[in-house]
A and B are shown apart, each in its own frame.
Chain A
Amino acid sequence: MENIRNFSIIAHIDHGKSTLADRLIQFTGVCNERNFQDQILDNMDIERERGITIKSNAISLPYHAHDGKDYILNLIDTPGHVDFSYEVSRSLASCEGVLLLIDAAQGVQAQTLANLYLALDHNLEIIPIINKIDLPSADVERVLEEIDSELGLDPFTHIKCSAKEGIGIEEILEAIVTRIPPPTGDTANPLAALIFDAKYDSFRGTIIHCRVFEGVVKSGDIIKFMYNGTTYKVEEVGHFLLTRAKRDKLFAGEVGYIIAGVKTVADVRTGDTITLQDRPCSKPLPGFKEVKPVVFASIYPIASDDYQDLADSLEKYKLNDASFIFEKDSSAALGQGFRCGFLGLLHLDIVQERLEREYDLSIILSVPSVRYRFTLKDKKIIYVDNPAHYPDPAEIDKGEEPYIRAAMMLPERYLGAVMKLCMEKRGLNSNMNYTSPGRVELSYEMPLAEVIYDFYDRFKSVTQGYGSFDYDIIDFRESNLVLMDILVNGEKVDALSQIVHRERARARALLACDRLKEEIPRQMFKIAIQGAIGAEIIARSTISAFRKDVIAKCYGGDISRKRKLLEKQKAGKKRMKMIGNVSIPQSAFLAVLKSDTD
């Protein structure tokens, strides 16, 4: 155990986490040049393309240190986005130390701070690393000041490196050995292993990634998940090298995998404790919580024939993503689909993109919603994340919406614009802190619904990309909520209904009316598009009728030609959705649902 170090790299997005991991892997010689590929721990195409890590990953690096001894350095890679902060916390709980990576040009950012707090929560040894020192814009002095003033860390403990150029890698490895404490634990104690991730393998079922804190686990053991008491027989345990490396046993202090015939990743809870059935530990490891989705949206196939394909794809996708949930949903406008829950907007984006890319599906996503809480007149409390389930307004005593605390870091020159944006987004209780000359840490309490609408894009645009943003969900607060419907010629288009704050309703409704006006082709009669709260019309637009289309001549030879043209138009009309005698093309739904893009 003395020769094991368990560590993680934490950083703001794009500060070079995956590149540093690559260099550590290369330096320790786990893989040769031939099978090396950049960002080796980011397995999915989507991770490499977006430059973010979505799933946790782990690898064991053998290292011969300057003290002459051989060490096993277990690197646990963590997801790099706020949507996955619970997963990050479980990965950190499996470590004794972290490399806190800071971009020499950009300095400390919102996620740097958020990750540091997480690491501090777990009492981890923190090694600040200033990366990208080779950049012409690198300002190491300023970063050192920020480490001192903003992070409250001793700036003299830092290491300078350039992961890209391979500078400082050995020094980092030495620091891992000398500064991060070895794991503690006793192999004689009952088994206690923390699950920090699970992956699906189509041949072996679920591969459980875990850190053993106490005891030993080996194949043949009957293990028990403490969260729900289910038991499985261990088929195989091992380490992570570039691929899985089978071993006889996993001991306290080690990081590795367990294969135990668990069918899907949904049967495994990240953060749960694994113990032995016949000799269980007395209590689970701390910090477990069940992850609950916070953003909800419905997914419909563009062609209703693709419904079964969509269903199958969601099932398959779910095999590897326990935090994604879905259930059947149906819309009068869009037909059969699924209501889905996501950890956040990025998670939603990822699911959407993977369904389209890996499963080759064309889908329509409804307007994302948060989960609202309603207290009814009879004191019953219900949660609603789907406008279709909005309670009868006469029965509602109180409506509440989830709030977040947004933490932002930005250059001072953007302060005015960001504050204006936050006010517009119903931000409250602002807090401002000049962390270093010219830089501001700003926090606001804001409704989550505002953040998922278009906050992040607008924040990025008003700070020209120099601002960083992070958030935590804090509580539910009373809010003047209404159900906003969109009507086309008097008929409600259920897929376009949204639960919104009353003050937002009009603007949202107007936007939807305008978008529909642009996208719905003119028809034989005038089309009224209305936004409404109950019977009250709050926005309206009109599509005028077309008035002349008839061809002049229709004699012998013209008839077949005309019929063929009409048949084509009829087929086109079939691909549209009929609502209140109005044919609405799919593009119209997309235009309204995508209202967060500008």
Chain B
Amino acid sequence: MKKEQAGLYIHIPFCLSKCGYCSFYSIKSINLIPEYIAALKKEIKYYRNIFSSFDTIYIGGGTPSLLSAVQIDDLISTLNKYFDIDRQAEITIEVNPGDVSLEYFQALRKLGINRLNIGVQSFDDKVLKFLGRRYSSKEAITSIEAARASGFDNLGIDLIYGVHGVNIKSWKNTLQKAVSFAPEHISCYQLSLDDRTPLYKKYSLNDWHLPDENTELKLFLTNSEELENAGYIHYEVSNFARLDKFKSRHNQKYWQHAPYLGLGPAAHSFLNNKRWWNKAAVKTYLNKIVQGKMPVEDTETLSAEQLQLEALFLGLRTQAGIDLKLYKTRHGIDLLADKETIIDVLIKNKLVELRNGFLYPTRAGMAIADSLALI
């Protein structure tokens, strides 16, 4: 049996400006980037005996497109030096529409990066301004076209829905606009308001609210229906792919409890039944590395019960659902026998279905995937 390969995530915690909705830790001091790249390279080296091979690499952020092609090359070469990187590996980078150019994309292609995820969020200038994004819809479109022109054939677009002032109709227009570029992948994230974000304060001051539950559901179902009609597969709560092969292989590892290594501040790693994560502050992260120490904040060893629960809620977020046989092998639990009555009720209520040994959520079930896991 082929050994399960791990996924690799590299976090780039720099942003030129803070987006109103983002609670993620990032800093503006891009002058630290060279020092940061050096630190990452050291961290890569630490793990050379713990992980051996990767078949997905995901460079996320923050704003990875603040890195030059040379800096990215430096990272990828280091990875190749210490690990087997599968020849077919999916290598993704997140980019910000305002920072990129045809030349930049062409350089990325040469480095072996074969998947782009463009953080478009919206095609409406008012919404972009509202969210605190530093580019126009025109620039967003230009960046998509440039990506295509440079030869990227696996393109993802991120969108945010449920924003104040956006109704179902205008949201449908956004979806149709996205579909018009025929991206291989679309992620639709519902806006949430962390109380540490600028947008939260803006909402509170103006007495605005996130959509009510019915509107939320309507938006969620609209995404699913509109994009499925356009030929996409709704393969996870927030994710759509044009074909099976365009599903994010990297992200699927998270939902399948596959091993992954996260590098950089706040990045999480998972191996066997252990999860650990790094210090969140860039300065602390850098200091630890400089001192020759692991920048790990904490480690948790998951109990059998915790693993079961995670497998349940992660699996039920996905269209494929839970492989009951695999679940039994991994967790020693026959879900069908154990939860027979409640599963029956959920099936009757059209929230889950059971087919070919998989228990999977319906569209309505996906909307309440978190509660499904509480069975």
Q: Using an 8 Å CB-CB cutoff, how does the interface string of B354-374 with A read, 1 for contact, 0 for none?
A: 000000000010111111111
| Chain A residues near B364 (CB-CB < 8 A) | 547
Q: Return chain A residues, CB-CB under 8 Å to B251.
A: 555
**A550 & B309 in contact (Cβ 8 Å cutoff):** no
Q: Does A556 contact B (CB under 8 A)?
A: yes
Q: Which of A105-113, A306-314, A504-512, A563-571 contacts B (4 or more CB under 8 A)?
A: A563-571
Q: Mark B260-273, 1 if CB is under 8 A from A, else 0.
A: 10100011111000
In the bound complex, do residue B189 and residue A552 qualify as a contact, i.e. CB atoms below 8 Å apart? yes
- Bound Cα distance from A548 to B370, whole angstroms: 9
Judge whether B368 and A547 touch: CB under 8 Å.
yes
Query: Is B314 among interface residues, defined by CB-CB distance under 8 A?
Result: yes
Interface pair B368/A573, CB less than 8 Å apart: no
Known contacts A552-B192, A554-B317, A560-B300, A570 near B374 by CB under 8 Å:
yes
Determine the distance from Cα of A554 to Cα of B254 in the docked complex, in whole angstroms. Answer: 8
Q: Give B contacts to A, CB under 8 Å.
A: 9, 189-190, 192, 213-214, 216-217, 220, 237-238, 251, 254-255, 260, 262, 266-270, 275, 277, 300, 306, 309-310, 313-314, 317, 341-342, 345-346, 349, 351, 364, 366-374
Known A525-B345, A563-B310, A573-B374: A552·B190 in contact at CB below 8 Å: yes
A557 to B237, Cβ gap below 8 A? Answer: no
Interface of chain A residues 501 through 551 with chain B (CB within 8 A): 523-526, 545-551
On chain A, the residues within 8 Å of B216 by CB distance are 548
Q: CB-nearest residue of chain B relative to A570?
A: B374
A417 at the interface (CB under 8 A from B): no
A560 touches B268 (CB 8 A): yes
Q: Which residues of B contact A556 (CB under 8 A)?
A: 9, 254, 260, 262, 267-270
- Considering only residues 567-588 of chain A, those with a C-beta below 8 Å from chain B are 567, 569-570, 573, 581
A555-B254, A562-B313, A563-B313 known; A550+B369 contact, CB < 8 A: yes
What is the CB-to-nearest-CB distance from A307 to chain B, in angstroms, rounded to a whole number? 26
Q: How far is the CA of A547 from the CA of B216 in the complex (A)?
A: 9
Bound Cα distance A551, B238 (Å): 9
A553 — which chain B residues lie within 8 A by C-beta? 189, 238
Given contacts A560-B275, A566-B313, A566-B373, 6 further A-B contacts (CB under 8 A): A547-B213, A550-B370, A552-B190, A559-B270, A563-B309, A567-B309
Task: Tell me, rounded to whole Å, the shortest Cβ–Cβ distance linking B25 to chain A.
Answer: 11
The one of B266, B275, B349, B367 that contacts A550, using a Cβ cutoff of 8 Å = B367
**Bound complex: CA A573 to CA B267 (Å):** 32
How many Å from the CB of A530 to the closest CB on chain B? 17
Interface majority SS (helix, strand, loop, mixed), chain A: loop
Chain A to chain B contacts (Cβ below 8 Å), 13 pairs: A525-B346, A525-B351, A546-B371, A548-B217, A548-B220, A549-B367, A549-B370, A550-B317, A552-B192, A552-B238, A555-B251, A559-B254, A581-B341
Q: How far is the CA of A560 from the CA of B297 in the complex (A)?
A: 14
**Does the CB pair A581–B345 fall under 8 Å?**
yes
Please give the number of chain A residues whose Cβ is less than 8 angstroms from any Cβ of chain B in the complex: 27
Interface residues of A (CB under 8 A from B): 523-526, 545-557, 559-560, 562-563, 566-567, 569-570, 573, 581
CA distance A560 to B307 in the complex (A): 11
Contacts of B217 in A (CB 8 A): 547-548
Pair A524/B346 contact, Cβ less than 8 Å: yes
Q: A547-B213, A547-B214 are known contacts. Are A557 and B349 too (CB-CB below 8 A)? A: no
Check if A559 sits within 8 Å of B310, measured CB to CB.
yes
A1 to chain B, nearest CB (A): 77
Which A residues lie within 8 Å of B341 (CB)? 581
B349 contacts A524, CB within 8 Å?
yes
User: How far is it, in angstroms, between the C-alpha of A562 and the C-alpha of B306 when the chains are bound?
Assistant: 11
Contact yes or no, B371 A549, CB < 8 A:
yes
B254–A548 touching, CB < 8 Å: no
| Closest chain B residue to A557, Cβ basis | B268
Contacts of A573 in B (CB 8 A): 374
6 tightest CB-CB pairs across the interface, nearest first? Answer: A556-B268, A525-B349, A548-B217, A550-B369, A552-B189, A547-B217
Q: Give Cα distance in the complex from A573 to B342, angstroms.
A: 14
- Bound Cα distance A399, B155 (Å): 78
Expressed in whole angstroms, the Cα–Cα distance for A179 and B3 within the complex equals 107
| Given A553-B238, A566-B309, A547 contacting B349 (CB threshold 8 A) | no
Q: Which residues of B contact A557 (CB under 8 A)?
A: 266-268, 277
Closest Cβ of chain B to A554, distance in Å, is 6
Tell me whether A563 and B306 are in contact in the complex, defined as CB-CB below 8 angstroms, given that A524-B346, A546-B371 are known contacts. Answer: yes
With beta carbons under 8 angstroms apart, the residue of A524, A552, A566 that contacts B237 is: A552
* Distance A523 CA – B269 CA, assembled complex (angstroms): 34
In the bound complex, CA of A46 to CA of B267 (Å): 61
Distance of A524 Cα from B373 Cα, bound (Å): 11
Across-interface contacts of A552 in B (CB, < 8 A): 189-190, 192, 237-238
Set of chain B residues within 8 Å of A554, measured between Cβ atoms: 237, 254-255, 314, 317
Q: Which residues of A contact B371 (CB under 8 A)?
A: 523-524, 546, 549
CB-nearest residue of chain A to B348: A525
Give the Cβ gap from B276 to chain A, nearest Cβ, in Å. 10
Complex alpha-carbon distance, A567 and B308, angstroms: 11
Partner of A524 from the list B260, B314, B368 (CB cut-off 8 Å) is B368
Cβ contact within 8 Å between B368 and A550: yes
Give the residue of B262, B270, B372, B374 whose beta carbon is less than 8 angstroms from that of A569.
B374
Cα A274 to Cα B255 in complex, Å, equals 80
Which B residues are in CB contact (< 8 Å) with A570? 309, 374
Contact between A550 and B345, CB atoms less than 8 A apart: no
Docked pose: A549 CA to B255 CA in angstroms: 18
Chain A residues whose C-beta falls within 8 Å of the C-beta of B268 in the assembled complex: 556-557, 559-560
Contacts of B317 in A (CB 8 A): 550, 554
